[in-house]
Structure 1
Amino acid sequence: MTNLRQSNSKINHFQAIGKKLTRVLRISATLLTSYYAYMLEYRAELFLWALSGSLPLILMGVWTQAAQSGQFGLTPIDFARYFLTVFLIRQFTVVWVIWEFEKEVVEGRLSPRLLQPLDPVWHHVFSHISERFARLPFAIALVGLFFFLYPQAFWIPSLGSSILFIIAVLLAFTLRFLIQYTFALFAFWTERANAIENFWFLFYLFFSGLIAPLETFPPIVRNIVLWTPFPYLIHFPTSLIVGLPENVGRGFLITVGWCALFFGLNRWLWRRGLKQYSGMGA
């Protein structure tokens, strides 16, 4: 009798887990398809957004010319591949949650979402993910155009490098989203939380590898920057696929560490912010 009860208990436990998993998958599929359909309504804007991230391709022309002097340790082909990869990473890691969340708090539109049995952050997460799928054809077309214009820069990365690159890009997006969403939570206390993001973006431009590879930095500056979250948003995944020297284990550990730190800070600010929130209908 005891064994029968234990068996029934295990069966009920697994059934409960199965129901929860089914519910999560159903909600995820609904959010993803809904936001994907929404993003497809703005295909022309998506193309312009993809083009707006072409700064790395402009910088590529500058650095490939500078590399001919031989003073930077990288060849023109290395710079071309580096900035092409930076452009691609930017297409998949761009985040805008702070402007959306700030508007929701200021205008009181966060209140209806707080009544739903779902953390409001998931609306933003699936909005970003669906936008990646909608943007993908434009990104592929631009990469194809690049290789048509610069066929000498074409290369086929190894399978191992490609897998590490994909993992690093996913972690880069996660970290970028956590950082900006954490800044967005300050909208509970100020109407201009995006000012924090604008200030942060200055450091992001210089230390992430967006403007220049970290290999061009003085060694002491590079060693300090490598302990900040900035290089792991662009430079680290780029190095993995291009073949620049990189401490892979340390890179992933630091990325995960910063993700954990911002996640903890994010949840703390969320709990404090809800007590502060006084939007219409809250």
Structure 2
Amino acid sequence: MARRSAFRSIQRAIRIAAALLSSQYAYMLEYRAEIALWALSGVLPLIMLAVWQGSDGAAAAGLTPQGLGRYFLAAFVVRQFSVVWLIHVFEEDALQGKLSPQLLQPLQPLWRYLAAHVAEQATRVPFVALMLAGVLLLQPGLLWMPSPGQLLLGIAAIQAAFVLRFLLQTLVAMLCFWSERAAALDRLLLIPYLFLSGLVAPLESFPPAVRRIAEYTPFPAMVSFPAKLLAGESVDVGAGFLNIALWCAVLFPLSRVLWRAGVRRYSAMGA
């Protein structure tokens, strides 16, 4: 009896997930032009590749010119598929009262936002493929094919980095229940994210003190670790995934506590 109940629960969860993803994917397809612009806005790693290729930075970072190119190309892919914009839509929904009808439904609203992000990633695929094709036409030397194992681990690391970024931004988004400018804090976090994640430069190019500081933050796990894994560099796979899991284990309960406290405050205000 217990097994049958558990099986039915799993079936129900799968049906809900499929319905959410299909509806959100259809919704995202209506905004293909906007998503194409979003994809173009994520070309910072390619810009930094051009900057680094014009200097002797590869040797300083302990990388060959080919390795540097692969790293930034991999960082571009990681950046494209780990984008999180939860804070902006959640802040708008909370301020305009759109969150209220969602709270009356049995499905936790954050699942809808997560499904929207996953669907948006799927709609990015053709645009990212076209941009990669354009880069490789200009610089064929950057072309490489990861082994099946590296590719699978790289994809898993990208999705893990996305989950970590989603949880971090969820934590910030919960502040919308107390402030009308919670998005400002997310913009403030963008500064350490850009520099400590390895997005603008490989972490090996930074002074040892800066690298040690970066190791105590979740940011390297969001770009540097999956990018190195995808580029075929030597990296401690177990330690990298463990680091992401530990940060998720810290951020998830904190987000739940703030969510419950925030919803009580939101309801008390008559929403």
TM-score normalised to structure 1 length: 0.92
Distance 2:268 2:133 in 1: 47
SS at match of 1:190: coil
2:232 maps to 243
Distance 1:276 1:52 in 2: 36
Distance 2:2 2:110 in 1: 28
Shift of 1:67: 3.0
Shift of 1:220: 2.8
Q: Which of 159, 169, 182 is equivalent to 2:148?
A: 159
Shift of 1:227: 2.5
1:98 maps to 87
Shift of 1:144: 1.4
2:80 aligned with 1:122: no
> Which stretch shows the higher mean deviation, 104-113 or 173-182?
104-113
2:205 aligned with 1:204: no
2:259 maps to 270
1:33 maps to 22
Q: Give 2:116's aligned amino acid.
A: S
Shift of 1:238: 0.7
SS at match of 2:135: helix
2:78 aligned with 1:89: yes
Q: Is the 8 A contact 2:82 2:161 kept in 1?
A: yes
Which stretches in structure 1 are left out of the alignment for 5+ residues?
1-11
2:202 aligned with 1:213: yes
SS at match of 2:248: helix
1:193 maps to 182
SS at match of 2:105: coil
> Which stretch shows the higher mean deviation, 178-187 or 271-280?
271-280
Per the alignment, do residues 83 and 275 of structure 1 end up closer, same or farther by CA in structure 2, a change over 3 Å counting? same
Shift of 1:59: 0.9
Point out the structure with max Rg over C-alpha: 1
Aligned-pair identity in percent equals 48
The two structures, once aligned, show a CA RMSD in angstroms of 1.6
Q: Give 1:244's aligned amino acid.
A: E
SS at match of 1:95: coil
Distance 1:68 1:211 in 2: 12
Q: Give 1:36's aligned amino acid.
A: Y
Distance 1:249 1:34 in 2: 36
CA shift digits 1:95-125 (9 cap, x unpaired): 1001111111111111101111110001100
Q: Give 2:194's aligned amino acid.
A: L
Give the length in aligned residue pairs: 271
